Amino acid sequence: MWWWLATPVNLARAPIDPNAKLECVSYAPFRGSQNPLELGLIVAPEQIAQDMAQLAKVTNCIRTYSVGNGLDRVPELAQKAGLKVMLGVWIGTNRLDNKIQMERGIALTKQFPGTITAIIVGNEVLLRGEMTSSDLVANIRLVKSKVSVPVTYADVWEFWLKNRDVYDSVDFVTIHILPYWEDFPIRASYAASHVDQIRKRMAVAFPNKEILIGETGWPSTGRMREGALPSRANQARVVSEILELARAQKFRVNLIEAYDQPWKRMFEGTVGGHWGLFDASTREIKYPAGVPISNFPLAKYYALAGMVLAGLIFGVSLLTLRHRPWSPRLSSWIVVAISATTAGSLLGVAFEKMMVESLGIGGWISGIALVVCAIAAPLIVANTVMYGRSLPTFMELMGPREYRTASRMQRLLSVVLLATTVLATATALGFVFDPRYRDFHFAALSMAVIPFLLLTAINRSPDGKRAIAESVFAGTLAISAIYTVFNEGPANWQSLWTCGIYLLFALTLSRARVAQIPG
């Protein structure tokens, strides 16, 4: 499986060609926990200078979005590195902040006339609904009256069509085309052609002025949106094809973005922090020229770890047999084999998703807990199935004394089952009420749920009353899964896989029975 998942992709042309520098790339200097919303944060000029020196090797120009947080030093440092700057000034609802940003941007443009090639007044202000088009036009014209470089405004392409009055106030039109974030998401294989179609449509709508693609690109990891799959290979492919199109048709394009920005995950989920051409932590380029691109660079280690886990699952089964006088049925070994294969195959995916998708203390706690359950479930089920026991109910862990099990392994299995149930239900409800930025935990859930399901298939619970708690969780999971399938669409295989596991888990929980206690 890992040979298949990690098969490298060789592109006809490297996304970042050292012999053909990029036209321009969006730049934000924030690293680690730094973020522009941190009160009083000033990024050290030495940190920005390091980035400028690195970016000068791959691009001719950078685009900024603000002159706050120490970004007012960018033109000076970019000049030293030999870079041009499309200077952004951030405007929004606060008029005083807007004035400060514009005045500082005007001053920098006059101070570095040979470095700043354009000034961008506002970024997606209309999209966010923070300003009317008339107020925006007034700000643009104010800046235009005080600088000699071209002035523009940047927004998603649809908002230019909805606010045509902005067109007359700018020197050129700066549009954002992000195929992944479209209302109807575009697959990676069609992303470049989508960008081309939108650019040509905008050229017809706004003639006589240059159309600059101010943002375009693709995320390297995160959740699917319909058929749009973030991945390292897809990011490299989309960037490469868009750049090739720009070279062939001679239009300017600015890629988003230079470096991964972890702080964006607070607002856009995992996918928001992984649009960079350079890794956030290592600061290394993701696609060195001449190196095949793999979605899983650590595949060999994941394969080894998976084989170790599979061996441990079989080892638990064999050790259990030493304490039992009989030979297990063939079906018991089938359960062990399927559980071991599933867990071993998906361990690396589950681990990588935990490392990438966990955010904040709560996110790390739930992420680690889910992976622990995913590893523990097949190990404990291997012991349980060899003993000929069934899947315990929650009553055996938390019910009245007469219902509780005396077996330590059954209690431990109950804990893992309960934790998996709570975590699965929480994620399922998340996809119902707040799905846009949530990740699909299909790998870890599969590792945990499949052993539970197989155990109930061969070792049925004793006859008794339907377990109320398990039934409530089962109903919640089933309803959530059905809703999510329709909401996410049939092209999203991450959603289909996850919802399939929810339904299998619902089936497993619905079969729980509480044994009758005499008397």
What is the per-residue pLDDT across 347-364, written as a single tens digit (0 to 9) for each? 999 999 999 999 999 999
Verify that 252 and 316 share a domain, yes or no: no
List pLDDT tens digits, range 133-168: 999 999 999 999 999 999 999 999 999 999 999 999
Beta bridge partners of 156: 176
Is 374 part of a structural domain of the chain?
yes
What is the C-alpha separation between 173 and 178, in angstroms, rounded? 16
Is 8 part of a structural domain of the chain?
no
Reported confidence tier of residue 519, pLDDT bands at 50, 70, 90: very low
Residues found in the chain: 519
Residue 131 has pLDDT above 60, yes or no: yes
Q: Is 15 helix (H, G, I), strand (E, B) or coil?
A: coil
**443 HSE (CA, 13 A, CB side):** 20
Residue 174 has pLDDT above 50, yes or no: yes
Verify that 264 and 320 share a domain, yes or no: no
Verify that 256 and 326 share a domain, yes or no: no
* DSSP string covering 82-102: T-EEEEEE---S-HHHHHHHH
Verify that 436 and 359 share a domain, yes or no: yes
Verify that 254 and 349 share a domain, yes or no: no
Beta pairing, strands 253-255 & 24-26: parallel
Is 6 part of a structural domain of the chain?
no
What pLDDT score does 325 carry? 60
Verify that 304 and 434 share a domain, yes or no: yes
Last residue of a domain, one of 224, 257, 272: 272
Beta pairing, strands 513-515 & 464-466: antiparallel
| Structural element, H or E, at residue 63 | strand 61-63
Of residues 490 and 464, the one with the higher pLDDT is 490
- Residue 25: CATH number of its domain: 3.20.20.80
What is the C-alpha separation between 49 and 83, in angstroms, rounded? 11
Torsion of CA 156, 158, 162, 167, to 10 degrees: 60
Residue 252 has pLDDT above 60, yes or no: yes
Q: Which residue has the tokens 């999209």?
A: 127
Share of the chain above pLDDT 70, in %: 98
Verify that 258 and 316 share a domain, yes or no: no
The count of structural domains within the chain is: 2
Domain that holds residue 411: 299-515
Q: Which of 219, 215, 217, 240 shows the shortest CA–CA distance to 230?
A: 219
Verify that 36 and 140 share a domain, yes or no: yes
* Cβ burial 69-87 (10 Å sphere, 16+ → b, else e): bbbbbbbbbbbebebbbbb
Provide the residue type at 311 as one letter.
Answer: G
Verify that 117 and 223 share a domain, yes or no: yes
Verify that 339 and 235 share a domain, yes or no: no
Gyration radius of the chain over CA positions: 28
Is 398 part of a structural domain of the chain?
yes
Reported confidence tier of residue 59, pLDDT bands at 50, 70, 90: very high
Are 223 and 272 within 8 A, CB to CB?
A: no
Instruction: Name the token pair of 184.
Output: 């109807």
Q: Is 119 helix (H, G, I), strand (E, B) or coil?
A: strand
Is 284 part of a structural domain of the chain?
no
Mean per-residue pLDDT over the chain, rounded: 93
Sequence-separated (6 or more) residues with CB below 8 Å from residue 63: 24, 25, 26, 27, 85, 86, 88, 120, 214, 254
Would you tell me how many other CB atoms lie within 10 Å of the CB of residue 511?
Answer: 18
Instruction: Name the token pair of 264.
Output: 């964006």
Residue 234 has pLDDT above 60, yes or no: yes
Q: Where does residue 135 rank: exposed (0-12), middle (13-18), buried (19+ CB within 10 A)? A: middle
Is 288 part of a structural domain of the chain?
no
List pLDDT tens digits, range 413-427: 999 999 999 999 999
Q: Is the previous residue joined to 46 through a cis bond, with omega within 30 degrees of 0?
A: no
Verify that 268 and 207 share a domain, yes or no: yes
Verify that 251 and 342 share a domain, yes or no: no
Is 435 part of a structural domain of the chain?
yes
List pLDDT tens digits, range 494-517: 999 999 999 999 999 999 888 765
Q: Is 406 helix (H, G, I), strand (E, B) or coil?
A: coil
Torsion of CA 237, 242, 244, 247, to 10 degrees: -160
What pLDDT score does 464 carry? 74
Q: Is 69 helix (H, G, I), strand (E, B) or coil?
A: coil
What is the C-alpha separation between 511 and 349, in angstroms, rounded? 29
pTM of the model: 0.92
Are 192 and 409 within 8 A, CB to CB?
A: no
Is 123 part of a structural domain of the chain?
yes
Q: Is 225 helix (H, G, I), strand (E, B) or coil?
A: strand
Of residues 9 and 369, the one with the higher pLDDT is 369
What pLDDT score does 517 carry? 57
DSSP 214: E
